[in-house]
Amino acid sequence: MCGIIGYIGYRNKKEVAIKGLKSLEYRGYDSAGIGFINDKVYVFKKVGRVDELKDVVNNINATLVIGHTRWATHGGVTEENAHPQTDCSNNIMVVHNGTIENVDELRLRLKNHKFNSETDTELIAHLLEEELKETEPLKALELTLNQLKGSYALVIGIKGVNKLLFAKQDSPLHIGLGKKEFFLASDIAAFVEYTRKFVPLMDGDYGYVSLEGYKIFNKGKEVKRDVLEINWEIKEVEKGGYPHFMLKEINEQVDVVGNALAVNTSNIEEMISNAGSIHIVAAGTSYHAGYLLKLLLEKYKGIESDIVIASEYIFTKRPNKDTVVIAISQSGETADTLQAIKFAKRRGARIVGITNVMGSSLTYLSDEYAIMNAGLEVGVAATKTFTSQVAIAFKIVFGGRVNKEKIKQTLTSSLNIDIASLAKKCINYDKMFFLGRGLSYPIAMEGALKFKELTYKHAEAYPGGELKHGPLSLMDEDAFVFAFMPEDETFAKMIYSVEEVKARGAFVAAASPGNVDKVDALLKVNKEEMPYQLFSFIPLLQLLAYRTSVLLGNDPDKPRNLAKSITVE
């Protein structure tokens, strides 16, 4: 979701900007733009892909450059609305991630200005233009920020100023530290090729980078921030011989799961044991991992917790100082999840973060956190990060007793199951149902999410026992049912559910170590004790979605309308 790159230094500006934007593509976008400054401001924009933008950008000899991939929020997908946005005199160029809320009020204040777009971002350029009439750039930025309500990561170039200005509020922004060169980016992937050292900015930070160095301010005072080191390799931004990042990342699960299990969770375990109440908050795939954590805590440790969809948290929960909130987010930047934990923190709750991104907002907002160390996940659909989240859930519940080899073997054997013919079958169905019960229900939920994300077909997850309360009316020859059937106490009941849907004409596939003779297709997975058996289902649901998406001609790495990191509410 929107990506920013800014650069000041000795390298070719067009090249740094284009490469930076290419590496941000995975976040999702609909248009892109680049702006340079030398004797004047040059802006190039294009609706569509960065590769198309590249062809229309002149190689301007400049000191600094900014670039942006836009995911439309205020205003349609047009060249005018793409960033950089400029002021009336074309002296200021601004790229922005986030949403400004007091747009109407600001427009009134700027009624003498000429606007060229429908964006909230353009207002920022005009506000700064006003402030620059009275004062120097940094102060003008501070005065501009004081007028904004909403979220922003901002990078700004001003003609005649050999600095890139920046500001961050509720949207990620990092400074990449090179030798006599500096980068500003919403994601470290944009500069990992040039430097591994970076500074994650905090909410309320603003300042500048110049050829001489950088300065960060917060509430009018200069502040120092941690310098961190990137913990993954540049090769992770490449497909490494696979046709898609998603397939590469599915196959990487066996290795990265070991990194997640190596994380020390003892402080987290202690916080959970002493908590008055436990709320688990997350969105999408992370929610499913959270759901599993909830079930595992209850079943194997007798600890009760509530699992809440992050965007619903502020409407439904009243945490207090005895509450521990476990927030799960691979990016650590999901606005809904951050909003939930900020709310919980204000009410005195303590926060545990589970994330893949060191230096993400979630790590800074958490009292304790666990980093999955799954490496960069480029595919929009979460795969290896889900498995890593589930692995951390196992570690929290079973501590040092968790059996790493068993998890790895279980994943490996399922990765070898051929799912191609089942995917071929799926393309003929438009009604997909994923069934599970007990511990396999969150797996079914993840199956349905992955399938709908990638194939654009309607897919729903149900606990088998719920079918008779409504969904059975949908079962006919046009329905495809995928059942997850571990040999635990749910097995016999799932057999009944399978018979129920089969009797109504649905095509039924099952993944199970047991004998399920009533189904049309059985994916026989290796027998494993519960809850380890769950890992045998994960690659299957991912591969089914992936293969079906490829057969349908979709791009599994960039499903339509979706973005990797959802940094707006």
Q: Which residues bind ligand AGP (CB under 6 A)?
A: 283-286, 329-331, 334, 337, 380-382, 453, 565-566
- Could you tell me the smallest distance in angstroms from the CB atom of residue 289 to ligand AGP? 9
Closest distance of CB 182 from ligand AGP, Å: 27
Cα(181)–Cα(173) distance, integer angstroms: 17
**Which lies closer to ligand AGP via its Cβ, residue 285 or residue 305?**
285
Whose CA is closest to 383, among 170, 232, 559? Answer: 559
Instruction: List the structure tokens of 197.
Output: 């050292």
Report the alpha-carbon distance of residue 286 to residue 338 in Å, rounded: 13
Among 384, 389, 391, 337, CA closest to 362? 337
The CB-of-568 to ligand AGP minimum distance in angstroms stands at 11
- Encoded tokens for 239: 């497909």
For strand 197-200 and strand 205-210, is the pairing parallel, antiparallel, or unpaired?
A: unpaired
Contact of 188 with 229, CB cutoff 8 Å? no
Residue closer to ligand AGP (CB basis): 127 or 365: 365
Residue nearest to ligand AGP (CB): 284
**Residue 285 or 366: which CB sits closer to ligand AGP?**
285
Cα separation, 406 vs 5, in Å, equals: 42
Q: Are the beta carbons of 190 and 175 closer than 8 angstroms?
A: no
Taking alpha carbons only, the member of 68, 192, 58, 53 closest to residue 119 is: 68
Q: Which two tokens stand for residue 135?
A: 């004062």
Smallest distance from ligand AGP to CB 97, Å: 15
Checking 55-63 for CB contacts under 8 A at 24+ apart, the result is: 57/14, 57/17, 57/18, 58/14, 59/12, 59/14, 60/13, 60/14, 60/36, 61/13, 62/13, 62/36, 62/37, 62/38, 63/8, 63/37, 63/38, 63/162, 63/211
Task: Supply the minimum distance, in Å, between the C-beta of residue 524 and ligand AGP.
Answer: 27
Q: Which amino acid would we find at residue 473?
A: S
With a CB cutoff of 8 Å and minimum separation 6, the contacts of 274 are none
Shortest reach from residue 330's CB to ligand AGP, in Å: 4
| Known catalytic membership, residue 426 | no
Helix (H) or strand (E) holding 329: strand 323-329
Amino acid at 489: E
User: Cβ 335 to ligand AGP, closest distance in Å?
Assistant: 9
| Residue 159: strand pairing partners | none
Contact 95, 67 (CB under 8 A): yes
**Amino acid identity, position 190:** A
Instruction: Identify residue 155 by its one-letter amino acid code.
Output: V
Q: Are strands 3-8 and 182-185 parallel, antiparallel or unpaired?
A: antiparallel
Nearer of residues 7 and 546 to ligand AGP, judged by Cβ: 546
Active-site entry in 2, 168, 248, 457: 2
The DSSP call for residue 213 is E
What's the farthest any 2 CA atoms get from each other in the chain?
80
CB 274 within 8 A of CB 300: no
**Residue whose CB is less far from ligand AGP, 121 or 565:** 565
Amino acid at 91: N
Q: Is 2 a catalytic residue?
A: yes
Q: How far is the CB of 563 from ligand AGP (least distance, A)?
A: 8
Residue 220's CB is within 10 A of a number of other CB atoms, namely: 8
Spatial CB neighbours of 110, under 8 Å, sequence gap ≥ 6: 123, 126, 127, 130
- Between 23 and 361, name the residue whose CB sits nearer to ligand AGP: 361
Structure tokens at 246: 């998603």
Give the shortest CB-418-to-ligand AGP separation in angstroms.
Answer: 23
How far apart CA 194 and CA 342 sit, in angstroms, is: 34
Catalytic-labelled residue, pool 19, 248, 457, 564:
564
Residue among 125 and 250 whose Cβ is closer to ligand AGP: 250
Dihedral pair phi/psi, residue 24, rounded to 5°: -95, -5
Q: Taking the complex as a whole, how short is the minimal distance between the CB of residue 400 and ligand AGP, in angstroms? A: 26
Looking at the Cβ atoms of 20 and 290, the one nearer to ligand AGP is 290
With beta carbons less than 8 A apart as the criterion, state whether 331 and 356 touch: yes
Of 303 and 562, which has the nearer Cβ to ligand AGP? 562
Nearer of residues 9 and 379 to ligand AGP, judged by Cβ:
379
Q: Compare residues 57 and 381 and give the one whose CB is closer to ligand AGP.
A: 381
How far apart are CB 364 and ligand AGP at their closest, in Å? Answer: 15
Annotated catalytic residues are: 2, 564
